[in-house]
Amino acid sequence: MPSSFFNEVTLFKRILYSTCILYVLCTAIAVLIEPYLTLPCDDYIPTTTTTKLTFPNPFYTFNPCQSTTRYLQLVGLTRLECEFGRNMVMSVLLGSIIGYERRTADRPAGIRTMSVVSLTACLFTWDPGITTLTVKGLNTASAVWLSAAVGVACGGGLYFAATFTTALMLVLLRFGPRATFDRADSVLGMSLPYRSDAP
């Protein structure tokens, strides 16, 4: 792991980020190939005993293959979790494209910020009114928003979405492209004029 991404490289950081990268890569591959796999439950035909509902919803058909059956071929995920994962991967990719465009226009929000914000919006389905209080920095503000989304996902029992999002965020924030301007000499990405007569 290149030390240029870290202020101080420790064994714990190496293990943590190596695990996150491995988890993100394996999960991303699994969720992207899932639509092309023929899984053992693909020929499931609902019967009257399996679709008996205790509430009236004529449009709902319970399919255990979709939401409750975990597959070894999908790294232990269900098909529904794979769909969530594809949504998250797509949001990061599209957010990166927007961030790249903003980065080339010398804007302060670049690839990492737009990717994290897009990932957060994917996890949230509404604006919870989370404020960033007095946080400084776009990445930190978007990470606070994402942390709130992870908390909501855990509260809703979406543990796969919460863990995959957390791992994606760690990888994006640590290894994503960084802004090119110097923080000490800039305000919102604009260079400050240098004064030689300044005290």
Write down the mean pLDDT value for the chain.
74
96 membership: H or E segment, kind and range: helix 79-104
Q: Is the pLDDT of residue 107 over 90?
A: no
With a cut of 80, say whether residue 125 has pLDDT above it.
no
Residue 56 lies in a domain: no
Report residue 20's pLDDT band, with 50, 70 and 90 as the boundaries: very high
**Which of 40-44, 58-62, 146-150, 153-157 shows the lowest per-residue confidence on average (mean pLDDT)?**
58-62
Instruction: Supply the pLDDT for residue 69.
Output: 84
* pLDDT in the model for residue 189: 46
Comparing 193 with 99, which gets the higher pLDDT? 99
Output the pLDDT for position 131: 43
Is the predicted pLDDT of residue 25 greater than 70, yes or no? yes
Residues 171, 172, 174, 177: is their CA dihedral positive or negative? positive
Per-residue pLDDT at 1:
64
| Strand partners of residue 191 | 186
**Into how many domains does the chain fold?**
1
Q: Is 69 within a domain? A: yes
- Answer whether 145's CB lies under 8 Å from 130's CB: yes
Region 50-66 average pLDDT: 63
User: Pick from 71, 95, 92, 96: which is nearest to 82 by CA?
Assistant: 71
| pLDDT value of position 33 | 95
- Report if residue 18 sits inside a domain: yes
In a domain, 50, yes or no: no
Strand partners, 186: 191
Assessment of whether the complete model's pTM goes beyond 0.85: no
The phi-psi region of residue 188 (left if phi > 0; otherwise alpha if psi is between -120 and 50; otherwise beta) is left
116, 138 Cβ separation under 8 angstroms:
no
Look at 119-128, 147-156, 187-196 and tell me which has the smallest mean pLDDT. Answer: 187-196
Distance, CA of 41 to CA of 16 (rounded, Å)? 35
* Pairing, β 186-187 against β 190-191: antiparallel
DSSP string over 22-52: HHHHHHHHHHHHGGG---TTTT----TTTS-
Task: Please indicate, yes or no, if residue 157 is contained in any of the structural domains.
Answer: yes
Residue 192 domain-assigned?
Answer: no
Burial readout 146-155 (b: 16 or more C-beta within 10 A, e: otherwise): bebbbebbee
The H-or-E segment that residue 156 falls in is: none
Domain annotation covers residue 111: yes
Residue 145 lies in a domain: yes
Token pair for residue 160? 């796969």
C-alpha radius of gyration, the chain, whole number: 21
Task: Give residue 27's pLDDT.
Answer: 94
Q: Compute the C-alpha angle 127/131/132, nearest 5°.
A: 130
Domain coverage including residue 17? 7-40+61-179
